[in-house]
Structure 1
């Protein structure tokens, strides 16, 4: 598609709150970040779509974590797609950008003409939060279900956190007048405010999992339903931009819900790989196992699955018997 003039909201997340409905949310826009994520690999279209959706979800969910924390999504399947992995690194200081990276592992020979989500088969959707040294990482897991990664994430929040959550996403390749074609993506996340003691009814969702209807009732249920009806009216071009600012989008959708916006969070592509980390990973290996990794050129190589960085090492410097061990 060809779209109009660009605005300065690309690669950002804008948090907001609907005061009338006791609902919080975020609007995300990705262009350069997603281009960098996908340009590191030559993915087939179905894989690109899954990685784009996972990156959007990561940006929306990750923005809730505190400074310096790391949030990851891991989607593991039994079909052609074996793994989709994303990382969100919280900013190290106030005002600094958060960083995102993502990749997919798949068997090209098992890919079919089916929709992207169907390439996953059975498996699980997991969210992991690492709060840093001296803490135990948190992990929550729900089954793959619902027909999209967005629906998987909604099920995760209902089941693991008892938080009704809704995602509406759009992504694809687009072109601005006079510019090269590139990826654009956008989305909105709605989430009901946590309740002190949620009253959870019998699970009515697919596979015996919870849905928002099992958690909310009365005025809260009506407010949630109304906000979702309003979000149903959003159009793809409104989600991805670039001619509609996220603030304008919120007014278009939720002006009667009294939207209140907070400071936006810039996003950047960022990978944490390094030669030092590769050395640290190989340090436990004895010399005989390091020898099995040596190429015909007499070196040990390693490639980062996220950014494609290529590392080469003298095997004599690696492992327990290496110079740095």
Structure 2
């Protein structure tokens, strides 16, 4: 029998604030979303772990963007796991769910399925992109791969690019609830110090990996003490508290931060969602000539495309694709 708390809190992001410490945060629980993201593909275990971690980070970070915006995480490296990409689509209106999708590219012959996942990314970069809609230039922030996890990369990104001390505690994996099949579950907590009125500038004595800024380089005095205290409290969190179906996020916040004055806001529902369509495929192919389209045509006389995120399969008549086909349509019109 499914518990009421599981129904209420699965696939949600709960924003909160620690009034005593001037720290904000989010608690995320992903159940059906994570299962849908990963069930679209037959990933090796190491790749699954990275996609699950990236999906949790995306849910926690994406909750702050405005309605109808899109936030993307992109991790690219020179190792056997080449790309991890996730998207967070903010709700179209107040009260609507946000949508998350994810995808990975890897060299199957080089990936060590049960090896340390993060080390198989190699050298590369961690990027956050925010699309604010038509007529706006997308925001893009990039930092080098650093640390031993994607969470550590995200912490470095916020310290270096936004100069916001940030901390993540994540847990994910396969679980089996009574009467249900085994499936993916994940949960996490994000802490972030409120932005300062006057952000810092680059420092020559930064203590992060590769000379990048770390949280300890940004905060000092009482602010630093508050940040360290909140992090010590978060260190006590247990995996079952992050992903267990019977532990409510509100109870978790009280258990961890009751002396910090936790204050919660409205929870944001999330679901798996992909925006691919036949029209978008046509648009992406509109830059190609008829000769280029001919090279993409199969022996059966069709052009096919598969969505990397959701696995949707599309088939097209090659004579309807490319800019020359569009020109013909315009002439006939």
Q: Taking structure 1 as the reference length, what is the TM-score of the superposition?
A: 0.97
Q: String of CA shifts for 1:34-58, please: whole Å, max 9, x gaps.
A: 0000000000100000000000000
Question: How many matched pairs?
Answer: 323
Instruction: Kindly indicate whether residue 329 of structure 2 is the aligned counterpart of residue 299 of structure 1.
Output: no
Task: Report the counterpart of residue 180 of structure 2 in structure 1.
Answer: 179
Whether the aligned pair in 1 keeps the contact of 2:5 and 2:248 (CA below 8 Å) is no
Shift of 1:207: 0.4
Task: Report the counterpart of residue 308 of structure 1 in structure 2.
Answer: 311
Shift of 1:6: 5.8
Instruction: Kindly indicate whether residue 34 of structure 2 is the aligned counterpart of residue 34 of structure 1.
Output: yes
Whether the aligned pair in 2 keeps the contact of 1:144 and 1:152 (CA below 8 Å) is yes
Cα distance in 1 for partners of 2:145, 2:4 equals 38
Cα distance in 2 for partners of 1:54, 1:242 equals 21
Q: String of CA shifts for 1:60-108, please: whole Å, max 9, x gaps.
A: 0000000000000000010001100000000010000000000000001
Task: Report the counterpart of residue 261 of structure 1 in structure 2.
Answer: 264
Alignment partner of 2:178: what SS?
A: coil
Cα distance in 1 for partners of 2:196, 2:289 equals 53
Whether the aligned pair in 1 keeps the contact of 2:163 and 2:200 (CA below 8 Å) is no
Alignment partner of 1:189: what SS?
A: strand
Cα distance in 2 for partners of 1:250, 1:307 equals 34
Whether the aligned pair in 2 keeps the contact of 1:198 and 1:215 (CA below 8 Å) is no
Query: Larger helix proportion, structure 1 or 2?
Result: 2
Task: Report the counterpart of residue 226 of structure 1 in structure 2.
Answer: 229
1:230-249 equivalent positions in 2, closer than 5 A: 230-249=233-252
Cα distance in 1 for partners of 2:200, 2:74 equals 29
Task: Report the counterpart of residue 286 of structure 2 in structure 1.
Answer: 283
Cα distance in 2 for partners of 1:65, 1:199 equals 23
Runs of at least 4 residues of structure 1 off by over 6 A? Answer: none
> Root-mean-square deviation (CA), in Å?
1.4
Shift of 1:4: 8.3
Cα distance in 2 for partners of 1:284, 1:140 equals 28
Cα distance in 2 for partners of 1:29, 1:65 equals 18
Task: Report the counterpart of residue 126 of structure 1 in structure 2.
Answer: 127
Alignment partner of 1:284: what SS?
A: coil
Q: String of CA shifts for 1:157-188, please: whole Å, max 9, x gaps.
A: 00000000000000000011111111000000
Q: Taking structure 2 as the reference length, what is the TM-score of the superposition?
A: 0.95
Cα distance in 2 for partners of 1:315, 1:98 equals 35
1:82-101 equivalent positions in 2, closer than 5 A: 82-101=82-101
